[in-house]
Amino acid sequence: MTEASVYPAIFAGLMGLAMLIYAILDGYDLGVGILLPFSKTASNDQQRDRMIASIGPFWDANETWLVLAVGILLVAFPKAHGVILGELYLPAAFLLVGLILRGVSFDFRAKAAVSHKRLWDHCFRIGSLIATLAQGYMFGRYIHGFDTSLGAYGFAVLSAICITAGYHFIGACWLILKTDGDLQARATKWARRSLWIMAAGILAVCIVNPLVSERIYDKWLTLPNLLLLAPIPIITFGLVLVVNQFLKGFPYSSDRFCWVPFASAVVIFILSFHGLAYSFFPYIIPDQLTIWEAASATASLKFMLVGVIITVPAIIGYTIYSYRVFWGKSSNLSYDAQ
Amino acid sequence: MNAAALFATVADPTVITLARIQFAANISFHILFPTITIALCWILLFFKLRFLKTGDQSWMDAYSFWIKIFALTFALGVVSGITMSFQFGTNWPGFMETVGNIAGPLLAYEVLTAFFLEATFLGIMLFGRGRVSERTHTLATWLVAIGTSLSAFWILSLNSWMQTPTGHEMIDGIAHPVSWWQIIFNPSMPYRLTHMMLACGLTGAFLVAGISAYRKLRGDHQPSVNKALRTGVVLAAILIPIQIFVGDLHGLNSFKHQPAKVAAIEGVWETQQGAPLLLFALPNETTRSNDYALGVPNLASLILTHDANGEITGLNDFADHPPVMPLFWGFRIMVGIGLLMLASSWLATWLGRKQNPLPKWLLTTLLGMTFSGWIATLAGWYVTEIGRQPWLVHGILRTADAAAAIPPSNVGFTLALYLSLYVVLLIAYVSTLFLIARKAGTPQKSAKDAPAKPTLGLTVEESRA
Interface mutation target, options A50, A87, A296, chain B, most CBs of B under 10 Å? A296
Q: Which of A121, A118, A107 is CA-nearest to residue A33?
A: A121
Residue ranges of A 174-233 with Cβ closer than 8 A to chain B: none
CB–CB of A176/A260 below 8 Å? no
Is it the case that residue B447 has pLDDT exceeding 60? no
Contact criterion met (CB < 8 Å) for A75 and B78: no
- C-alpha to C-alpha distance for A64 and B222, rounded to whole angstroms: 38
Nearest chain B Cα distance for residue A217, angstroms: 24
Minimum-distance CB partner of B123 among A57, A311, A330:
A57
Subunit contact A93:B417, Cβ cutoff 8 A: yes
Number of other CB atoms surrounding residue B316 within 10 Å: 12
Classify A47 in phi/psi space as left (phi over 0), alpha (psi -120 to 50) or beta: alpha
* Surface-to-core class of residue B286, CB atoms within 10 Å of its CB (0-12 exposed, 13-18 middle, 19+ buried): exposed
Confidence of residue B211 (pLDDT cuts 50, 70, 90): very high
DSSP string, B252-297: HHHHHH-HHHHHHHHT--S-EES--EEEEEEEETTTTEEEEEEEET
What's the pLDDT tens digit per position in A102-143? 888 888 887 877 778 888 888 999 999 999 999 999 988 888
Question: Min CA distance, A326 vs chain B (Å)?
Answer: 8
Q: Any chain A CB within 8 A of the CB of B139?
A: no
Portion 141-180 of A in contact with B at CB < 8 A? 146
The pLDDT of residue B161 is 94
- Residue B129 DSSP code: B
Is the alpha carbon torsion for B302, B305, B308, B314 positive or negative? negative
Ranking A55-69, B182-196, B390-404, B447-461 by mean pLDDT, the lowest is: B447-461
User: Which residues 117-136 of A have a C-beta within 8 angstroms of B?
Assistant: 117
Residue-level pLDDT at B1: 38
Contacts of B126 (CB under 8 A, 6+ apart): A56, A57, B67, B71, B455, B458
Q: Where does the pLDDT of residue B5 fall: very low under 50, low under 70, confident under 90, or very high at 90 and above?
A: very low
SS3 breakdown of chain B: % helix, strand, coil, rounded to 5? 75, 10, 20
How far apart CA B70 and CA A220 sit, in angstroms, is: 51
What is the least distance, in Å, from the CA of A29 to any CA of chain B? Answer: 14
Tell if the CB–CB gap between A335 and B457 is shorter than 8 Å. Answer: yes
> What angle, 0 to 180 degrees and rounded to 10, lies between the N-to-C axes of helices B189-217 and B372-386?
160
The sign of the CA dihedral A90, A93, A95, A98 is negative
Share of chain B above pLDDT 90, in %: 34
How many residues are there in chain A? 338
pLDDT at B6: 42
Name the residue with higher pLDDT: A229 or A176.
A176
Q: What is the arithmetic mean of pLDDT over A18-30?
A: 91
B77 has pLDDT over 80: yes
What is the pLDDT at residue B7? 42
Within 8 A by CB and 6+ apart from B176, the residues are: A297, A299, A300, B101, B168, B169, B170
Say how far apart CA A90 and CA B99 lie, in whole Å: 25
Put simply, whether B438 touches A (Cβ < 8 Å) is: no
Q: Residue A217 burial (CB < 10 Å; 0-12/13-18/19+)?
A: middle
Residue B290 to residue B316: CA distance in whole angstroms: 13
Does B71 lie at the interface with A, CB-CB under 8 angstroms? Answer: yes
Count CA atoms closer than 13 A to B14's CA, side-chain side: 8
Say whether A308 and B112 touch across the interface (CB within 8 A): yes
Angle CA(A330)–CA(A335)–CA(A119) in degrees, nearest 5? 80
Question: CB count, 10 Å around CB of B435?
Answer: 15
Number of H helices, E strands in chain A: 14, 2
Res B3 pLDDT > 50: no
**Cβ-defined contacts of A272-278 (< 8 Å, 24+):** A272/A202, A272/A205, A272/A236, A273/A16, A273/A19, A273/A20, A273/A23, A274/A232, A275/A206, A275/A229, A275/A232, A275/A233, A275/A236, A276/A143, A276/A205, A277/A16, A278/A219, A278/A229
- Per CB-CB distance under 8 Å, the chain A contacts of B105 are 75, 300, 303-304, 307
CA nearest to A247, candidates A237, A234, A257, A236: A257
Select from A138, A130, A142 the least CA-distant residue to A30: A130
What b/e readout covers B323-349, taking b as 16+ CB neighbours within 10 angstroms?
A: ebebbbbbbbbbbebbebbbebbebbb
- Percent pLDDT > 70 in chain B is 92
Give pTM, 2 decimals. 0.85
A25-63: per-residue pLDDT in tens? 999 999 999 998 877 777 777 888 888 888 888 888 888
A325 inside 8 A of chain B by CB: yes
Provide the 3-class DSSP secondary structure of residue B111: helix
Q: Is A234 on the interface with B (CB under 8 A)?
A: no
User: Tell me, what's the ipTM?
Assistant: 0.82
Which chain B residues touch A83 with a CB distance below 8 Å? 3, 6
Q: Which run of H or of E encompasses A283?
A: strand A283-285
Task: Give residue B460's pLDDT.
Answer: 37
Instruction: Classify residue B450 by its DSSP letter.
Output: S
Contact list, B406 vs chain A (CB under 8 Å): 86, 89
Stretch 274-303 of chain A: residues touching chain B, C-beta under 8 Å: 285, 288-289, 296-297, 299-300, 303
Select the residue of B113, B132, B462 nearest A307 (Cβ to Cβ). Answer: B113
Highest mean pLDDT among B46-60, B75-89, B283-297: B46-60
For residue A141, the number of C-alpha atoms closer than 13 Å in the C-beta half-sphere is 21
CB-nearest to A325 from B7, B102, B132 is: B132
Phi/psi of residue A241, nearest 5 degrees? -65, -45
Surface of B (154-193) touching A: CB under 8 A: 174, 176-177, 180
- Tell me which residue in A56, A78, A326 faces B131 most closely, judged by beta carbons: A326
Q: What is the pLDDT of residue B12?
A: 63
Whole-number pLDDT of residue B355? 66
Question: pLDDT tens for residues B148-204?
Answer: 999 999 999 999 999 999 988 898 888 888 889 999 999 999 999 999 999 999 999
